Structure formats: structure tokens, C-alpha cells
Amino acid sequence: MAILKVKSSKLKTNDGFTLIETIIYIGIIAIIISSFLLISQQIIFSTSRTRHQIELTENQKFLVQKINWLLRNIDSINTPSPNTSSGILSINKVGFNDNPMVLSLADNVVYLTTGSTTTSTAPLTNNSVIVTSLTFYQLTFASSSQNAIRVTANMENDVASTTIDKFVLIK
């Protein structure tokens, strides 16, 4: 009698990844990590850009507030002359001991100078902002005793720029 030999075949089991599966998984992980790094970089640059824009806006607001304060309760305007423009605004305020008060632009910074004998100078903009121009124009109205000052200024920093164009009535 013939004995049949039955070969037992073992089923192959995969105990690991194939090379193609490994390459696919590495590719997916690389895409996820690079997306995360790109998003993180955009958030960091966005934060820096926003900070610069806020700094520019705050400098602009502060300068406009100081100009409004300066042009309140004026006794006289020394510079600019009526119907002319100048890079300097010089005024005398009512009840202020340190007249004249002068706004000027030097080295891309706006300065407020007070007093003629004991001169005190203070910057109104900081070094995060560059002021490229500052002009004052005195307007006179023939039909009334009121005058106006037109203030124009250009301010910029690394990411943004802005313009001030303001009329202030002087009573």
C-alpha cells in the first residue's frame, strides 16, 4: 500500500511591513509634519506682522492726540504763516508757561519742543516707526475769524504705512 505523504504547507504570515508600505507611511508622516511646520511658521510671522501694524496705528493715534491737544487753547500761531505751509508748527498756548511749543520732524522722528529759554524736547513717535514727511498748512477764512491747520504726515514701518491728513479748526 502506498502511503501518501501529505505535505503540510504553512501559511505565510506577515509579521512586518513591506518596503512599499513603509515608504507610503513615511511619506504621509512627512506631509503631516511639513504641514504642521508651515502652519506654525505662518502663525509666528502673522503675529509679528500684527504687532508691527498695531505699533504703527498706536503711534499714529498718539501723534494725532498730541496735535489735537497742542491746537487747543491757542494764543497765536508763530509758524506757518497764514496760507503757507511748513515742516514746523510753532504755537503759543494760553496759560502755558513754556511757550512756544514746536512740533518738528528730525531723523524720521516727530519731536515736541517747549520753551524758548529752558528748551525741553520729547519724541512723540518711537523708533519702531519712521515718519517720512510732516507738513503743517495754516488756512485762513476771509468770512470768519477762525483759522485751521492742516496736518499731513506719512508714517511707515517694516510691514505697513499710513498717512495722516487732518484739519483742525482753531477758535
Q: What integer pLDDT is reported at residue 2 of this predicted model?
A: 57
Q: Is residue 13 part of a domain?
A: no
Could you tell me the pLDDT band of residue 29, with boundaries at 50, 70 and 90? very high
Cell numbers standing for residue 144: 470768519
pLDDT of residue 108: 94
Mean confidence (pLDDT) of the chain:
87
User: Residue 32 domain-assigned?
Assistant: no
**Nearest to 88, CA basis, from 73, 65, 75, 70:** 70
Q: Is the dihedral angle over the CA atoms 55, 105, 100, 136 positive or is it negative?
A: negative
Residue 18 domain flag: no
Q: Which residue has the cell 506631509?
A: 31
How many separate domains does the chain show? 1
4 inside domain: no
User: Using 50, 70 and 90 to split pLDDT, how confident is the model at 26?
Assistant: very high
User: What pLDDT is recorded for position 47?
Assistant: 87
CA dihedral 34, 39, 40, 46 (to 10 degrees): 150
pLDDT at 43: 87
CB-based burial label for 157 (10 Å; 0-12, 13-18, 19+): middle
**Domain that includes residue 135, residue range:** 45-170
Residue 6 lies in a domain: no
What does pTM read for this prediction?
0.74
- Residue 31 located in a structural domain: no
pLDDT tens-digit readout, 136-156: 999 987 776 778 999 999 999
Instruction: Identify whether 24 is part of a domain.
Output: no
Query: Do 117 and 99 meet the contact criterion of CB atoms below 8 Å apart?
Result: no
Stronger pLDDT, 43 or 65, i.e. the higher one: 65
Average pLDDT over residues 100-112: 93
pLDDT tens per residue across span 74-105: 988 999 998 899 999 999 999 888 889 999 99
Residue 124 forms part of a structural domain? yes
Given a cut of 90, whether residue 3 has pLDDT beyond it is no
Residues 165, 57: Cα–Cα separation, whole Å:
14
Q: Is the pLDDT of residue 123 over 90?
A: yes
Q: What is the pLDDT of residue 119?
A: 75
117, pLDDT greater than 80: no
